Amino acid sequence: MKQKSITIYDIAKEAGVSSATVSRVIARNYPVSAKTRKKVLDLIDKYDYQPNAVARSLTKKETKMIGFVLPDITNPFFSQVFIEAEKYALTKGYTLILCNSMNTSEMESKYLKILSERQVEGIILMGGRINKKLPDAVEVSEVSQVLDKLPVMMINGKIDGLHCHSVRTDEAKGMELAVNHLVRQGHKKIGLIGGVNGITTTDIKVEAYRNLLLKYDLTFRDSWQIYSGFDVQTGEEAIDKLLMLNKDKLPTALIGINDLVIMGALKACRRKRIKPFDFVGFDNTDLAKNSSPEITSVSHPYSQLGEKAIDLLINASKSSNESKDILLDPYLEVRESCSITKL
């Protein structure tokens, strides 16, 4: 195990050529005589020679690595974007380094530093805590030493005061898909649950939600729009809060800030043994597909999100320093949750 691995010099020596020539054979972008090429290729094959990517990175000053920092890969929303990005990056010869910040700012800063030291060529950031109006937000200044040196791509987020590119799902449009769908099902009382005031994606959705109620001339009640969080428990609690209202003051349909809160809402309805509301979630994660009832959900264009992020980042390294922002269209994945009343 772990025998000394062979280098380009070993190959060169046995082939009776210089390392430069072997390098040229490998890069195959430079003329080498057919005879020499064959001799070298045969030896590469014979010894299973693999060029050392670390050494190559050092000389070429390119690592072909991209850092991908997100709060938690266990969350299917993030993992789906990651997987699409990874798939696409591979076709472009890049390797992603995934970093789970566990939603803590220390981890986030730490990983940014590690990635920078490892000479990644760019960083993709999702759902981070940088410059958020949150208790343990990361100050931009803290990480700017890192982020200023590297092309940065934010997915579904934007940091004020930081020069970076972004790719986002048009969540206002997503909200329109959701509301429109429910309205067409005949709903006139639509609530919105989950999210945290001050988080961009929440704010966008909430604003769109209110505007749409106006547009469709639907009643809005403060008690129908419940901030809480992003997890299952959040959804359960939201239902509990709603049920404190008079029965005739309840909404008939609920939009969730994501699928998880809808899962929670479903649990609460089951626990309380009430006929569930009609639901529409956001993110279209596997959860929505696998739960029973299945959940109708506004889907991110996952593959586009991943691909555009990689593409822009790769080109960003080359091109000028204007920052690009791309807005992508969501779509609605209609499932049974809106006909749950049939149960």
In the complex with DNA, which residue's Cβ is closer, 53 or 90?
Answer: 53
Give CA angle at 294 (293, 297), nearest 5°. 135
Rg, the chain, Cα only? 26
CB of 116 to DNA, least distance (A): 11
CB of 258 to its own copies, least distance (A): 12
Which helix (DSSP H) or strand (DSSP E) does residue 141 occupy? Answer: helix 140-147
Which residues are CB-neighbours of 341 under 8 A, at least 6 positions away?
275, 276, 278
Q: Which stretch binds DNA (CB under 7 A): 56-64, 151-159, 297-305, 319-327?
A: 56-64
Give CA angle at 228 (285, 132), nearest 5°. 85
Select the binding partner of residue 31 from its own copies, DNA, none (C-beta < 5 to 8 A, by kind).
Answer: DNA
Among residues 280, 268, 201, which one has the least CA distance to residue 241?
268
Burial class (CB in 10 A: 0-12, 13-18, 19+), 50: exposed
If phi > 0 it is left, if psi is from -120 to 50 it is alpha, else beta; for residue 205 that is: alpha
In the complex with DNA, which residue's Cβ is closer, 53 or 274?
Answer: 53
For residue 327, state whether it binds DNA (rule: CB under 7 A).
no
Residue in 46, 60, 118, 271 binding DNA, rule: CB under 7 A: 60
Residue in 33, 197, 246, 320 binding DNA, rule: CB under 7 A: 33
For residue 116, state whether it binds DNA (rule: CB under 7 A).
no
Select the binding partner of residue 150 from DNA, its own copies, none (C-beta < 5 to 8 A, by kind).
Answer: its own copies
For residue 30, state whether it binds DNA (rule: CB under 7 A).
yes
Q: By the criterion CB under 7 A, which residues form the site for DNA? A: 4-9, 16-24, 26-27, 30-37, 51-52, 55-56, 58-61
